[in-house]
Structure 1
Amino acid sequence: MLRSMYAGISGMKNFQTKLDVIGNNIANVNTSGFKKGRVTFQEMMSQTTSGAQGPTGTKGGINAVQVGLGAQTGSIDNMHTQGFLQTTNNPLDLSIEGDGMFALTDGETTFYTRAGNFYLDSEGSIVNPDGLYLIGANGESPITIPDGAQSFSIQTDGTVTYVDGAGDPQTAGQIGLASFSNPAGLQKDGSNLFLNSENAGFNGLVVPEQDGAASIVSGALEMSNVDLAEEFTEMITAQRGFQANTRIITTSDSILEELVNLKR
């Protein structure tokens, strides 16, 4: 069979994967804290027809003759660039200005997220929509606001304060931010959550606004970092790339048909 047919098939598979990632990005264009994906391709192995030869006393060197055998998916990267902030004026809607992630726990597993839409449960604990507790800077959880509190606020350094029944200010805790040297190495776990991995480079929990750490903005949500114009452009190029690879297969099929017809 012609090698071009297999190269065309590999190209179709890659562009289908690219379209899958683009579709997921567009579907989550309004998902708070969502980080878009990006697909990169790599050349597959090449078949060497003749190897390279060095120069001799009578003639110069000769380059290797190689035929490529198609492409393969190199990586699917999570792009942890900052999304725009949408003002909500809800004090429990938190966004991170800079690097870092909120740390959450169910008592056994620790999760990480950039989606800061938090709530108070029936006991006054700060939780996310799935009921996971928000972890403080010293690793404590939950951060709880007493039932009798008159009001509460969250400062840019993550300090959660409230006014008790007697009108005195009190501190409920301080929100911590998880620091990663390679946030792209985190594994998606669904529901806007990430899990730590061996390649994420977890540096522990840091206090916001200390030693160059990010700050917390109350009353605003970080939205998806998906750019629709970019995604539609990538979708068009992926569609054309897919079509071009199908044309390679149909052209190779026409050549094979001519070869079969030689015996007639």
Structure 2
Amino acid sequence: MHGALSVAKTGMTAQDTNLKVISNNLANVSTVGFKKDNVVFEDLMYQVRRQPGAQTAEEAQLPSGLQIGLGVRTVGTQKLFSAGDMEVTGEPFDVAINGRGFLQVTLPNGDTAYTRNGQLHLNSDNQVVTPEGYLLEPELTLPNDVLSFSIGTDGIVTVTTPDSPQGTQIGQMQLADFVNPQGLQSQGQNLYIETASSGAPVVSNPGENGTAVLIQGSLENSNVNSVEELVDMITTQRAYEMNSKVISTADEMLSYVSQQL
């Protein structure tokens, strides 16, 4: 088989994966707290037919040698945790994380997950939950007769009731930070889970240890730039076309040889 065929095949496979990642970014352009992915590529092994620096004579060496690459592969995706634009909603249960950190969420199996989505709600037990109904950690439960609900930039939750119109502190929201947030594993539903690569979470009150402050009545939008993604999509399409052209050219060369022999 012509070597260019297998090399071009790896290029088309890599660009197909790249397009899938771009399409996922564009699909989540309106997802609150979403962080875009970038694809990381690396070249494959090389056939070294003449070793660089090898002796060709008593006082002569090959300046570069002869090395033929075998293509490319997708080695990983990198989650970019740059901040998205802040949108003021005015809803008391919307919370934007302005800086580093994640809200902690308790999953049904008891594990802890992490999210940047601050669209919070109340369940039937007056507990503050995520859009999927998962409880925050630490848990927050509001009184039944609550009149108003406020979250300070430091995460302190205060409510007013008919018996306490001046306000009563009922809880403290906390944020978890990681040495390497890119190492978190995406779970869908705007959730991440800890891995060995991310390191253990460092839990702090908002504004402490380099973590973000909370902004009530606002949300952090997706950090996907649709114009950039469209440009990347065009570049990916052209790269895919060029690799397919290599396959066509190699096929024509093989066809020519077979017809002439």
**Counterparts of 2:53 and 2:118, CA distance in 1:** 61
Shift of 1:174: 0.6
Show CA shifts across 1:115-159 (max 9, x none).
1000111221110011111113xxxxx211100122111110011
Deviations 1:39-82 (A, max 9, x none): 12111111111223456884222132111111111221111111
Is the Cα contact below 8 Å between 1:115 and 1:222 reproduced in 2? Answer: yes
- In structure 2, relative to structure 1, the CA distance for the partners of 1:190 and 1:211 (3 Å cut) is closer
Partner of 1:82: 83
Structure 2 distance, partners of 1:257, 1:56, is 37
The residue number in structure 2 matching 1:155 is 152
Question: TM-score if structure 2 supplies the norm length?
Answer: 0.95
| Equivalent residue number for residue 142 of structure 2 | 145
Q: Which moved more, 1:126-135 or 1:240-249?
A: 126-135
Partner Cα distance (2:259, 2:107) in 1: 68
Cα distance in 2 for residues equivalent to 1:217 and 1:169: 19
- The match for 1:216 is 214
- For structure 1, the 5+ residue unaligned runs are 137-141
Alignment of 1:88-127 (within 5 A): 88-106=89-107, 108-127=110-129
Query: What is residue 173 of structure 2 aligned with on the other side?
Result: 175
1:200 is aligned, of 185, 198, 201, to: 198
What is the deviation of 1:242? 0.1
Equivalent pairs counted in the alignment come to 258
Preserved CA contact (<8 Å) 2:100 2:210? no
- Per the TM alignment, residue 260 of structure 1 is displaced from its structure 2 partner at its CA by 0.4
The percent of aligned pairs where both chains have the same amino acid is 36
> What secondary structure is seen at the aligned counterpart in 2 of 1:173?
strand
Structure 2 residues without counterparts, runs of 5 or longer: none
Q: Which residue of 2 aligns with 1:34?
A: 34
The answer to whether the Cα contact below 8 Å between 1:178 and 1:202 also exists between their aligned partners in 2 is no
Secondary structure at the residue paired with 2:100?
coil
Q: Does the alignment pair 1:71 with 2:68?
A: no
How far is 1:169 from its partner?
1.6
Give the superposition deviation at 1:163.
1.1
Corresponding residue for residue 23 of structure 1: 23
* Paired letter, 1:158: G
